[in-house]
Structure 1
Amino acid sequence: MQDPDQQCAICRGKDGALCRTFGLGSRDALGLSCQACGDYEVTRTARITWLDNHRLNIRERAALSHLIRNMNRDSGRPLLDTHWLEHFISEARLPNPANQAINLIRVIGDYQAETGEGYFIDGVCDATLVGSFNQTMFDQLLAELTKKQLVVHSGENVTITNPRGNGVLSGRRTVLTLDGWERYESERRGKENGSYGFIAMKFSDPQLEALVSGHIKPGLKETLNIDIVDLRNVSRAGVIDNILREQIRDASFVLVDLTHDNSGAYWEAGYAEGLGKPVIYLCERTKFDTAKTHFDTNHCTTVIWTVGDEAAFVAELSATIRRSLSLFK
């Protein structure tokens, strides 16, 4: 049974977004369908512990809305439990304004390419989709893209049914200019670099998890002021989908750990190499000395790590990024 008056547990109806709930049978969870955040399920414990109080700040809620909305596009309806939320909150972030601009150009261009029509901007829904903090900042982003002549408003006013209540919404559709299409195609081919690095790895290995969370991510943030993200920051672990491809495509570079001969990591490395992305390989010393990595990669730049000597590894990795890739002059 649906409840049309339920407030979204994540955004709490920010900017006028409506939300409906639906039951999940015998499962101890609630389903929600929010106009801004999209569809998701949340366990009773997670809702009480994380969402029905002030434990999450405004920025964390905005980042969570953005993630759920994009997971809906490619991975389906996620289930939020306490473990999932604990991991998310530890690294919650919104795209920076440059990446938000790329996201909006992608949304408009994809719609135009599919329908042949301009895109009707709905700030309540689109702000969350592209990762803006709120509708006001989304409006500023759109104004900047218009000022730079990457998008324009096309034709006469049109009206659509108001998705958040009675009546209609009125406005002009938005289309990409020629410069906007050039930016769209450049981004689609992976030529527009984001301000982060992506790491491909096997999950659930205690040593590797400790290396990444305790040394690589904080170490590169400190030395290079750049974030390192993995698949769990943007989607469900183990799912190779459009979100994964977008994250690799938009990254400045890709780190690939080959310690476990993980086929997914090799696939992600190949995809990044195909896009022309800088790729740096990582491997645990014992594995590298005894079994090497696949012959197609064992001649490539590989930074070796050893448990107990993480500081030296991070220093070498940082130097390799600076020296070999010349990303941070």
Structure 2
Amino acid sequence: MEQCPICLNKCKSNMWSRDRKYLDCPQCGKYTADAKIEMLIGRRRLTQRQKANISGWLAENEGYEITSENLDNFLIKLKLPSFIDRADSLLCHIAARSDFAGASIQFDKSFISRAWCVNEEELQAVTDYLITTKRIFVIIESQIWLNKYKVLANGWIRLEELSKTNSKSSQGFVAMCFSDDLKSLYEEAIAPAISDAGYLPHKVDLREHNDKIDDEIIAQIRRSKFVVADFTRHRGGVYFEAGFAKGLGLEVFWLCEKDDLKNLHFDIRQYYFIEWTNDNKEELKRRLTLRIEGLFGKGPEKS
């Protein structure tokens, strides 16, 4: 056992190669990192909030690989979600771990990360809100790790509301690397596929948005019916946007350039990917249109 460099809890660790290791932390979850991750974290003198945000992100994106590059360009710049979003995230986590409605589950360290909290005291503020709104019931013991949590009827109703938030939306959000050489992918395949299915494609393509998560992106994902995510070049922002959409219960359509599939983070390889090459964009468009229509039917914008 060694110490997690993010939350400082004891965790399991194995070297995958000379320069990369695998960590299994009770709070941050399972992730991989540069073998010198402790030194990388130590040099940056991260605040408690930055570490809590990274822990929350890792917990929601199992298998993520921390590198020096994405640590500087993405992870340390993560914004704290709204209080309501954090409460909803914790509620979803408790519900997902419950075998059935009415079941109680015992506290564990993952509650702290799922609510993007710095410590147990901040977690208490989030759970107090869920208790006050009658979404959960907590059997409080002498020590927090003995507490038991149960989702109440109001909590299940809230979860149903979250799953229906975007049922009337006609927008499809596109998450991808918007470098110049990938513009044709959007213009010739992704956007036409969404339009042909009867929905409105939406992208945030300003260059500074690559690997940057801001309020506009979060708001647009919330307004969308689904997300089309192309992982070619493996931008950290695309991983975040797809993970955030999954957390909201939105459908994600997974794309990647054929030769880049081998570089996907292992935690998302379980999903069905539509692969593409530069000479088969028309086939990509056709397959993506069929996938969208197959799940949602023809959209309201279909001519």
Q: What TM-score range do you get, normalising by the shorter chain?
A: 0.5 to 0.7
Alpha carbon RMSD of aligned pairs, Å? 4.7
Alpha-carbon distance in structure 2 between the residues aligned to 1:22 and 1:215? 34
The question of whether the paired residues in 2 share the 8 Å contact of 1:71 and 1:235 is answered with no
1:82-121 C-alpha deviation (Å, 9 max, x unpaired): 2322332374123211001111221222233558621222
Q: How far off is 1:274 after superposition?
A: 4.7
Alpha-carbon distance in structure 2 between the residues aligned to 1:264 and 1:243? 26
Q: How far off is 1:66 after superposition?
A: 1.0
- Equivalent positions of 1:74-93 (< 5 A) are 77-89=63-75, 91-93=77-79
Matched, 1:8 2:4: yes
Which residue in 2 is equivalent to 1:187? Answer: 162
Which residue in 1 is equivalent to 2:127? Answer: 142
Alpha-carbon distance in structure 1 between the residues aligned to 2:160 and 2:88? 11
Which residue in 2 is equivalent to 1:254? Answer: none
Residue segments in structure 2 that go unaligned for 5+ positions in a row: 184-202, 222-226, 230-234, 252-280
Q: How far off is 1:56 after superposition?
A: 2.8
- TM (norm. structure 1) is 0.56
Alpha-carbon distance in structure 2 between the residues aligned to 1:264 and 1:103? 35
Distance 1:263 1:66, change over 3 A: farther
Q: How far off is 1:20 after superposition?
A: 2.9
1:28-50 C-alpha deviation (Å, 9 max, x unpaired): 122222221122221145553x3
1:34 alignment partner, one of 18, 22, 25: 25
1:20-78 C-alpha deviation (Å, 9 max, x unpaired): 32222x43122222221122221145553x31223433222111111111212xxxx22
2:96 alignment partner, one of 110, 114, 118: 110
Alpha-carbon distance in structure 1 between the residues aligned to 2:236 and 2:124? 26
SS of the equivalent of 1:42 reads strand
Distance 1:298 1:147, change over 3 A: closer
Matched, 1:67 2:57: yes
Which residue in 2 is equivalent to 1:54? Answer: 44
Distance 1:119 1:65, change over 3 A: same
SS of the equivalent of 1:21 reads strand
After the TM superposition, which parts of structure 1 deviate over 4 Å for at least 4 consecutive aligned residues?
A: 113-116, 156-159, 207-210, 215-218, 224-235, 260-267, 295-299
Alpha-carbon distance in structure 2 between the residues aligned to 1:202 and 1:54? 28
Matched, 1:131 2:107: no
Alpha-carbon distance in structure 2 between the residues aligned to 1:55 and 1:265? 47
Matched, 1:212 2:197: no
1:171-220 C-alpha deviation (Å, 9 max, x unpaired): 3x22222222211211133369xxxx9941432523869943437999x8
Q: What letter corresponds to residue 6 of structure 2 in structure 1?
A: I
Q: What letter corresponds to residue 187 of structure 1 in structure 2?
A: L
Q: Larger C-alpha radius of gyration, 1 or 2?
A: 1
Q: What letter corresponds to residue 9 of structure 1 in structure 2?
A: P
Kindly indicate whether structure 1 or structure 2 has the higher relative contact order, using CA contacts under 8 Å at least 6 residues apart: 2
Distance 1:190 1:83, change over 3 A: same
Which residue in 1 is equivalent to 2:174? Answer: 200
Distance 1:110 1:60, change over 3 A: same
Alpha-carbon distance in structure 1 between the residues aligned to 2:90 and 2:49? 20
Matched residues, number: 239
Alpha-carbon distance in structure 1 between the residues aligned to 2:249 and 2:285? 16
Q: What letter corresponds to residue 212 of structure 1 in structure 2?
A: L
Alpha-carbon distance in structure 1 between the residues aligned to 2:121 and 2:162? 25
Which residue in 1 is equivalent to 2:10? Answer: 18
Alpha-carbon distance in structure 1 between the residues aligned to 2:210 and 2:44? 31
Which residue in 1 is equivalent to 2:150? Answer: 175
- TM (norm. structure 2) is 0.60
The question of whether the paired residues in 2 share the 8 Å contact of 1:7 and 1:18 is answered with yes
Residue segments in structure 1 that go unaligned for 5+ positions in a row: 163-168, 251-259, 276-294, 300-329
